[in-house]
Amino acid sequence: MRTVGSTPTLRDLRPADVEAIVALAGLLGSTEPAAEWKRRLRRGSGVVAIGAEEDGRLVGYAAGEVRAAFGLAPTGWVESFGVDNAWRGRGLGRAIASALLQRFRELGAERALTMLPLHDRTLAPFFRDLGFREESLVTLGRTV
């Protein structure tokens, strides 16, 4: 196991970070392609993308967007979130989430929502610990 040094610095993610994001996300089981991250980081003014960096290496990230949809007030949607396994349990995820939620508030969001797989055993407990609760919304889907 790698030795973890100094405390990571939080900063906005940029298009130049796409390779590092995709590499870390891939280690965490994500299959989001680089093209999706490039699109996400180029979107409009409601987009928030925060990274945690230690010694020039990305060790955590979160991305989302504030938007009004489905008749809801402006809402911050957490679209992607990940923390390097070596940093889990050290408060880094909470720091990233706190920064993301603060930016959502600054952009006018009144609530924050996210979607997770029904039986997720990693992110679901984490988000519940942050105060997220099940909503009276239903996700419907189909192949197109």
Give percent above pLDDT 90 in the chain: 73
Residue 2 binned pLDDT confidence (cut-offs 50, 70, 90): very low
Token representation of residue 20: 């590092």
Please report the pLDDT score of residue 4 as a whole number.
52
Every domain of the chain and the residues it spans: 9-129
Q: Which helix (H) or strand (E) covers residue 40, if one does?
A: helix 34-42
Q: Provide the total of helices (H) and of strands (E) in the chain, helices listed first.
A: 4, 5
Q: Could you report the per-residue pLDDT of 87-143, keeping only the tens digit for each?
A: 999 999 999 999 999 999 999 999 999 999 888 888 999 999 999 999 888 888 898
46-85 residues labelled b (16+ CB within 10 A) or e (exposed): bbbbbbbbbeeebbbbbbbbbbeeeeeeebbbbbbbbbbe
What is the C-alpha separation between 134 and 131, in angstroms, rounded?
10
Q: Give the CATH number of domain 9-129; options: 3.40.630.30, 3.30.930.10, 1.20.140.10, 3.40.190.10.
A: 3.40.630.30
Model pTM score = 0.89
Q: Could you report the per-residue pLDDT of 95-111, keeping only the tens digit for each?
A: 999 999 999 999 999 99
In which order are the strands placed within the sheet that holds 75-83?
Answer: 9-12, 47-54, 57-67, 75-83, 111-114
